[in-house]
Structure formats: structure tokens, C-alpha cells
Amino acid sequence: MKDVVVVGSGAGGATVARELSIKGLNVTLIEKGPFSQTKNAYEHYENVDVGVELLKTSCVGGTTLVTAGNAVRTCQEYLNNMGIDLEEDFKYIENEMGVSTLPDSHFGKGTRLIIEKAELLDFNVKKMPKFINPKTCKPCGKCAFGCSRNSKWTSMEYVKDALDHGAKLIENTKITDLIINNGEVKGVKSSDREYLADNVVVSAGGIETPRILRRAGIDAGNNLFVDTFVTVGGVLKDIQFNSEVQMNALIKLDDLILSPHFSTILLDKLKKNHVRETDILGIMIKIGDEGSGKVREHHIEKYSTSKDVSLITKGSAVAGAILKEAGVDPTTLTSTLARGAHPGGTAAIDEIVDRNLETEISGLFVADASVFPRAPGAPPVITIVALARRLGRYLENEF
């Protein structure tokens, strides 16, 4: 039986580990961060501010622990045109995660107001599909801190499945290097030991995966995208939007999306005027940014191109118009800095990995947001899971 090491237990890594262990392979899942209760995930944010603030968490389950539960198929047509057909994987995953829009009971006053006023302004508004169980979810607005009721899908569920099928989990262990011999991968190294394997799947996320690959001589780390976003908001007294399910609706414009969103950064900017967190209504503007960034060993470069800036500006103007219509005091409208919660593209398909996600080093694969050929401009988790599930099938057939 072949041995497989998977590096990282987020959306991509947990999925591959689960698929392969279910098929009876010897899987070792190595995770840099600790095991954390989902409700404490916020303690494991490992953000980096490189002009655009990049958000990710480092713990078992990776960044899936802090998602807003949004389940959107992204890049499906684009990947399909490359011969990567994910339809069956998407259907399977959506069914398993119970993807659905939430019932009316889970739409708060602020969200309903945004939907109503956006429609009045002729925008097409849809409810956001979620991997949130409405039977156990009690809206609190804290998805991005980690769910205290375990009502949201996270890759922790797949980690548990993998363990139930015999996989071994090694937490608090950062993989630093790959072991390579004659162009073939033979395992991985941490600071104090080696883990030998016939195949290695690197799933350390869009920032750390390229660093591991680069140390092995692979020219990864270029074309970094982050799905840049800002949240625009202002004062609407006692709207209590901060404790509603966040991002519960979706407005798609040509190159960007808008979604109702509260940010504590808005509170920091507005609180000198005695504004409380219950007094803010906001909308997130998210774009599929150009791959203008770069990841290197000791630094990350990322800037917004003029196209990115013009899209954010256009989205902010639309958000401002909707918020004003909703009753927000227009003199209080303000915006967060640019942030990015979907780093990827740094080991892209057809650049660094082939269409089976294998690198130029035989037996070395990548399964995470790094492989996206371009910015999705929308929540990527179920696409990462679909790609990783497909890789699991491919590897199983190889063995």
C-alpha cells in the first residue's frame, strides 16, 4: 500500500486526505497549526498586511473555520473549457454539505432592507447559497470568528472522516521542505524530522504552498490574486445588522459582487461619533483582482492595479447608493481598507501544475487555492473541495 503525506488540513488538504483514506491508502495529514474548537478559530488568524491585508487562519481545518458559509460554484465554465469537468463533484459536495439558501427566519432587518432597496434600484438580488444548517444556526453575525454551534460546514468534518478511516493527523508541525531524489518526491521535512512517502500533496494555501514549492526549485509564487474586497457602510441607528447572518444575499455585476456585510473596521472609523456596532449597515464589494502579486520566502507583494481600483470604485458607488436608499446617513458613509480573504493562483494549473494537479516533480501534487488559473472573484471553497476530490479519484486510480 502506498504512503501519502498531505500538507495542510484546510479546504484542499482535508478533502484529499479524506478521499484517499476512505479508499484505504496510508494517509498522514500534517498541519502547522493546533487543533482548535471551531468557536475559538478567531485566535488562529495569521493575517499579513502587504498594502492589501491578507486574511487566513492556521489551525486544523485551516481557513474554512472562519468562512461566512458561502457556497458558490466558481470558475466552473473556465475549468470545463480546460477539460476539467467538476459537475459531478459539485453535485456530490453540495448534497453532502446541505448547500441551500437560508429560510426567511435567518434574514435580519438590515439584510432585508438592502435586498428591498437594491431591487428598487433595479439590481438583481439573489439569496446566497450557504453550507449552514438553519436548524442549529442561531444568527449571531460571528461566522468569521468561528461557529459556536458547529452549524457551518468546515473541513474539520473531512479531517474527522479521514481519521475514522485510519489517517494519521500530526498537528503543530510546520513542513519546511520536500525530500526529492532524481526528480521524484520521497517525502517532506519539518525542522526536526522527515516523513517519507510515495506521494506528497501540498495543500498549505495560496501563500505557504508556493513557498514550499520554491524551496524545491519550482518557480511558484507568481500571479497572486486575493479577490480584493472592501466593506462600505454608515450609520443607521439601532439596525442591529452586526448580529445578522453575514453575506446572506448576492448582487452580481459584470466584474464584481456585492453582499451585505458588517465590519468592525467600520466601527473603529465611526465610533468617535458615539456610534455603536448595532448602528452600522454595510455592503462588501469583492472583485476578481488581477494576479499582480508575488510570494517569495520573506515577503509578499500585492498591489491593486488601475483596473482593480476602478472596479472597487464602481462597486463602492453602487453600495453607497443602496445604503443611502436604505436610510443610512450619507454623511457617515466610509470604507474599510482593501483586504483579501482568498489568496491563490500561485501554483496555477497549466503554469506550475498540470491538469491532474501534478508538478514537474513526479509524485508531487498541489490541492488548494494555489492552483486556480485566475481569481474567482467569489467564494472559492466548494471549487477547491471539488478540485481536491477529483485529485483524490485520480490518485486512487494511479495506485
Place of cell 468561528: 146
Residues 6 or more apart whose Cβ sits within 8 Å of residue 112: none
What does the radius of gyration of the chain's CA atoms come to, in whole angstroms? Answer: 21
Residue 19 sits in the site that holds ligand FAD (CB under 6 A): no
129 binds ligand FAD (CB under 6 A): no
Cβ partners under 8 Å of residue 284, min gap 6: 229, 230, 231, 247, 258, 259, 260, 261, 263
Q: Please report whether residue 62 would count as binding ligand FAD according to CB under 6 A.
A: yes
The three cell numbers of residue 89 are 463533484
Is residue 376 involved in binding ligand FAD (CB under 6 A)? no
Size of interface with ligand FAD, in residues (CB under 6 A): 39
Among 142, 174, 214, 393, binds ligand FAD (CB under 6 A): 174
Q: How far is the CB of 171 from ligand FAD (least distance, A)?
A: 9
Contact residue for ligand FAD among 5, 6, 17, 33 (CB under 6 A): 33
Q: Which residues pair with 3 in a beta bridge?
A: 26
Query: Which cell goes with 219?
Result: 518557480
Query: Cα dist. 168→13, 18, 160 in Å?
Result: 13, 11, 10
Please choose, out of 161-169, 329-337, 345-353, 377-385, the segment that lies near ligand FAD by the rule CB under 6 A: 377-385
Q: Closer CB to ligand FAD, residue 70 or residue 332?
A: 70
Figure out which of the listed residues 68, 322, 326, 347 binds ligand FAD, where binding follows CB under 6 A. 68
Is residue 341 near ligand FAD by the rule CB under 6 A?
A: yes
| Closest CB 41 distance from ligand FAD, rounded Å | 10
Question: What's the rounded Cα separation, in Å, for the pair 196 and 177?
Answer: 12
DSSP code at position 59: S
Among 312, 381, 386, 391, binds ligand FAD (CB under 6 A): 381
Alpha-carbon distance values, 387 to 47, 100, 381 (Å): 25, 21, 10
Binding site for ligand FAD (CB under 6 A): 7-13, 30-33, 55-56, 58, 62-64, 66-70, 144, 174-175, 203-206, 208, 212, 341-342, 368-369, 379-381, 384
